[in-house]
């Protein structure tokens, strides 16, 4: 592949990653905030979970591009039920804790498997964008695209740590964290419904 071709593929892949993962930076920041406030999930859980979950999404996209139908695209809206359920559950816990005069933990998910699952659920609606790109790309182009995607995951993880360490964010989480986290996950659930056409 000529240098100009590689540069074009890199730019295209970067734009695709940014467009399909704008909501991921919010999820990562919430996870980093939870990690800082309660110790769960741990930072390495967030990094490893993001990469493992994204690897699953890439594998499913490649399989579908090759002609295998692992997940029917018209069922992707169901993925929105997971963050919606997490958010509603955390909201119920926060309300009960508030009534008893206690504070609920802001942690939305705990452990590596929780982060992996959340990454897959949050990125599942991206399959409809990745599959046609992989289907129309050469092997060399796919390798470059995957490399850009993996670099993007790392950049987003670093950015979320930066955001979560901001003084204003820390103060907001200390005061409102038990309410902010469930509301964010409820909104993510509805966002997935919107992106997959479930609300139309």
Each domain of the chain, given as residue ranges in start order, spans 3-195
Per-residue pLDDT tens for 56-83? Answer: 999 989 988 887 656 666 776 777 777 7
Q: What is the pLDDT of residue 45?
A: 93
Output the DSSP codes for 112-151: HHHHHHHHHHHHGGGHHHHHHHHHTS-HHHHHHHHHHHHH
Cα(first)–Cα(last) distance of the chain, in Å? 42
Average pLDDT, the chain: 81
3-state secondary structure of 46: helix
User: CA angle, 103 as apex, 119 and 87 as ends, to 5°?
Assistant: 30
Give the separation between CA 1 and CA 42, rounded to whole angstroms: 40
The one-character DSSP state at 108 is S
With bands split at pLDDT 50, 70 and 90, how would you rate the model's confidence at 118? confident
CA diameter of the chain: 65
Tokens of 69: 């139908």
Per-residue pLDDT tens for 82-100? Answer: 778 877 887 887 788 778 8
The Cβ-side half-sphere exposure at 78, using a 13 Å CA radius, reads 6
Give the separation between CA 184 and CA 26, rounded to whole angstroms: 8
Give the separation between CA 69 and CA 36, rounded to whole angstroms: 40
Tokens of 11: 């730019």
Per-residue pLDDT tens for 3-26? Answer: 667 888 899 899 989 888 877 887
Cis link prior to 41 (omega < 30° from 0)?
A: yes
Per-residue pLDDT tens for 188-198? Answer: 778 778 766 77
The one-character DSSP state at 75 is G
Around Cβ 102, how many Cβ atoms within 10 Å?
10
3-state secondary structure of 157: helix
Contact 91, 189 (CB under 8 A): no
Give the separation between CA 44 and CA 50, rounded to whole angstroms: 10
Whole-Å CA distances, 180 to 26, 167, 184:
12, 16, 6
């Amino acid at each position: 592949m000529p240098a100009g071709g590689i540069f074009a593929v890199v730019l295209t892949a970067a734009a695709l990653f940014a467009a399909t993962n704008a909501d991921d930076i919010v999820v990562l920041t919430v996870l980093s905030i939870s990690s800082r406030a309660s110790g769960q999930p741990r930072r390495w859980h967030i990094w490893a979970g993001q990469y493992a979950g994204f690897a699953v999404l890439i594998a499913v996209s490649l399989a579908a591009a090759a002609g295998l139908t692992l997940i029917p695209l018209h069922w992707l809206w169901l993925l929105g039920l997971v963050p919606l359920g997490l958010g509603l559950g955390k909201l119920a816990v926060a309300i009960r804790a508030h009534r008893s005069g206690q504070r609920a933990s802001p942690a939305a998910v705990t452990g590596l498997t929780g982060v992996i699952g959340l990454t897959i659920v949050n990125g599942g609606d991206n399959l409809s964008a990745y599959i046609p790109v992989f289907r129309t790309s050469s092997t060399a182009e796919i390798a470059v695209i995957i490399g850009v995607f993996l670099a993007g995951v790392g950049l987003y993880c670093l950015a979320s740590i930066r955001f979560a360490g901001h003084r204003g964010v820390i103060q907001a989480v200390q005061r409102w964290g038990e309410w902010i986290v469930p509301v964010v996950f409820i909104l993510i659930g509805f966002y997935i419904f919107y992106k997959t056409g479930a609300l139309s």
